[in-house]
Chains A and B, each alone.
Chain A
Amino acid sequence: MIEASNVSLRYKDGTLALKDIDLSIRQGDLVYITGPSGSGKTSLLKLLMGMEYPTEGTLKVMNITIKESNRNKIRKFRRHIGPVFQEFKLIEGRTALENVMLGMRFLEYSNKHIRKMSKDALERVGLGGKMHSNVENLSWGEAQRVAIARAVARKPSLILADEPTGNLDHKNAIQILKLLNSFRNDDTTVIITTHATHLIEELGNAIFVSVEHGEITIERRG
């Protein structure tokens, strides 16, 4: 699923975000990327999304090499990714259902099928009664769930969630992490970044990637 070999990322202003990363993630893995703010977690996620390109080394995600010349391929491969952004990136003025459907309109499904898949995803995240509410009228936690529904409705091979527990209380944060975990299966890899390490300790076996000052350490549990 993901193979990183000596990957470094240096931004245009000279900041070295990631240094000599070696990482191998299989299909169906559950991965937590942890580390303090500014450690490089989001930068790693950006590399995996193709939002940034490695300045050194080789990174392959779903058999696509992440490099600038593969821009068109990267845009296509994003259709197999379910991103949950830190800021949600929901479209205001649209309902929860419309937001979820928007993530699939350009995929090879009929409108009827898209609508059904979107409704099912919203039901799964516990927002069956709010699918026709405008997203700006939802609470933070509910908006978070809409973002998750949008990510999972398209049956992605890879779910990337960036700080999904930010601004949530302990109880809701655990619920969100468990919800994301529930989408992992043999065909779907889930990668979650979080600085709330105390939360993920409660959740059992996974691959823990700790990022500090741009370097990583990997621990596989279970």
Chain B
Amino acid sequence: MKKYFKNAGYFIKETGRTVKTQLLSNLFSALGTGLIFFLLGIVIAGWYTGEQLITMLSNEAEISVYFDNNLDTDQRSTLLQLIENLHGVREVNYINEESAKKRMKELLKEEAEILELFDDNPFEAFIQVGLHLDVMDTVLDQIINIDGVEYVRDNRDILEQIKGITDGVKILGFLLLLAVGITTVIIISHMIRVGIYNNREQINTLRLLGAPGGFIGFPYILVGLGLTLSGALFALILCFIIINGVYGGIGNYLPFFPVPAKGEVLSNVGLIIILASIVLGVFGSLIGLLSIRERNNA
């Protein structure tokens, strides 16, 4: 280890020289690797957001309980009380007809004027019940059997659809991670092999002078690492631009859409891309080095 620190300046110079020897090829390799990491970053962001969304919505699972409109105030209060006391229910809110209409207006925004076409308020009063997703079935069964309850609407279908999409994104993410890994290792190991071939005379001389394999090969590890880290940096810049843009769009057009904090998404994406680039850079370089067999005369 001491020898590596002692020769740090030499290794960095050699790395620079090796990169300069095939500058254009190395630039394109870094760019290509960067684009692959960028794709990975977007999938990870989608996956993370989906997971967070599922978690948030699961915790905010809610149902709307519609009851007989002929129930008087006392009966409605009793109904509310009964539901509130059920195990697994987090909160209970009574939404009257006017509040229901107001909510729809807020959702529709510019389209809200369509509601003016109705002479009477078309919305019914209902009871909004917040509960834990894992007890939804039990609570539903209990609520539907309460006198006065006509029907119950839940958001389980939406949740299951979102979960399905997230699972799909997860599988896509794994496949993409595999593709990214294999492609990056192939690109980097190929560039290292070309670099070694171009410097074969120097390598052979070093072997004849008694240089250990680690001393000879270390600059090439740095080359591979440099290529993948450059690509990662490029990918992070692109991810930053895209994710910022998406969050801006969500803020303008889907303000009620629950998404994790942008900083959280960016830091998770950044961490995974950097880690992947380090692992793949070193691994690709080692594959490139090992694939060059020592010649018999050295």
Within 8 Å CB of A91, what residues of B?
A: 202, 205
Is A148 in the interface zone, CB < 8 Å from B? no
Residues 48-59 of A, flagged 1 when their CB comes within 8 A of B and 0 if not, give 010110000000
Q: Across the interface, do A76 and B208 meet the contact criterion of CB distance under 8 Å? A: no
Q: Does A178 contact B (CB under 8 A)?
A: no
Q: B210 touching A78 by the CB < 8 A rule?
A: yes
Q: Is B109 an interface residue (CB 8 A)?
A: no
Contact of B215 with A106 in the complex, beta carbons under 8 Å: yes
Give A27 Cβ to nearest chain B Cβ, in Å: 19
CB-contacts of A53-107 with B (<8 A): 75-81, 83, 85, 89, 91, 93, 102-103, 105-106
B210 engages A51 (CB within 8 Å): no
Among A76, A80, A85, A103, the one with the most B-chain Cβ atoms within 10 Å of its Cβ is A103
Interface string of B193-226 (1 = CB under 8 A from A): 0000000011011111111100100000000000
In the complex, are the beta carbons of A75 and B207 less than 8 A apart? yes
> Is A116 interfacial (CB-CB < 8 Å)?
no
Q: For B215, give the chain A residue with the smallest CB separation.
A: A106
Closest A residue to B207 using CB positions: A75
Provide the residues of chain A in CB contact with B293, threshold 8 Å: none
Q: With CB as the reference atom, state the residue of chain A lying closest to B294.
A: A71
For A105, the chain B residues whose CB sits under 8 A away are 6-7, 10, 211, 215
Chain A neighbourhood of B204, CB < 8 A: 89
Interface assignment of A6: CB less than 8 Å from any CB of chain B:
no
B297 and A46: CB pair below 8 A? Answer: yes
The answer, yes or no, to whether A111 is at the interface (CB within 8 Å) is yes
Does B17 belong to the interface (CB within 8 Å)? yes
Cα of A111 to Cα of B296 in the assembled complex, Å = 32
Contact flag A83-B209 (CB < 8 Å), given A91-B202, A106-B215, A110-B6: yes
How far, in whole Å, are A93 and B199 apart by their CA atoms in the complex?
12
- B residues 11-69 in Cβ contact with A at 8 Å: 17
Give CA–CA (A52, B212) in the complex, Å.
18
Of all chain A residues, which has the CB nearest B206? A102
- A78: which B residues are within 8 A, CB to CB? 208-210
Smallest CB–CB gap between A81 and chain B, Å? 7
The docked-state distance in angstroms from the alpha carbon of A112 to that of B17 is 23
CA distance A51 to B206 in the complex (A): 13
Chain A CB within 8 A of B298 CB: yes
Does the CB pair B208–A106 fall under 8 Å? no
Which residues of chain B are near A51, meaning CB under 8 Å? 208, 297-298
**Contact residues on A (Cβ < 8 Å of other chain), bracket:** 20 to 34
Task: Tell me whether B212 and A75 are in contact (CB under 8 A).
Answer: yes
| Alpha-carbon separation in the docked complex, A81 to B17 (Å) | 28
Does the CB pair A111–B6 fall under 8 Å? yes
Alpha-carbon distance A76/B209, docked complex (angstroms): 9
A104 to chain B, nearest CB (A): 9
Q: Are B202 and A83 in contact (CB under 8 A)?
A: no
Contacts of A83 in B (CB 8 A): 208-209
Q: Which of the listed residues A46, A75, A85, A150 has the most CB atoms from chain B within 10 Å of its own CB?
A: A75
| Contact (Cβ within 8 A) B210 A81 | yes
A77, A102, A110 — most chain B CB neighbours (10 Å): A102
The answer to whether A49 touches B208 (Cβ under 8 A) is: yes
Which residues of chain A come closer than 8 Å to B298, judged between CB atoms? 51
CA distance A51 to B212 in the complex (A): 15
- Distance of A12 Cα from B202 Cα, bound (Å): 25
Question: What does the 1/0 interface line of B281-298 toward A look like (CB < 8 Å)?
Answer: 000000000000000111
Closest to A88 in B: B205
For residue A137, give the distance in angstroms from its CB to the closest CB of chain B: 18
* Minimum Cβ distance to chain B for residue A180 (Å): 18
Q: Return chain B residues, CB-CB under 8 Å to A93.
A: 17
Besides A51-B297, A76-B210, A106-B210, 7 more A-B contacts (Cβ < 8 Å) are: A75-B210, A78-B208, A79-B209, A81-B210, A89-B204, A102-B206, A105-B211
Sample 12 A-B pairs with CB under 8 A, ordered by A number. A51-B298, A52-B296, A77-B210, A78-B208, A78-B210, A79-B209, A81-B210, A89-B208, A102-B209, A103-B209, A105-B6, A106-B211
Residues of chain B whose beta carbon lies under 8 Å from any beta carbon of chain A:
3, 6-7, 10, 17, 201-202, 204-212, 215, 296-298
- 9 residue pairs, one from A and one from B, having the closest CB atoms: A78-B210, A79-B210, A89-B205, A51-B297, A106-B215, A106-B211, A103-B209, A91-B202, A105-B7
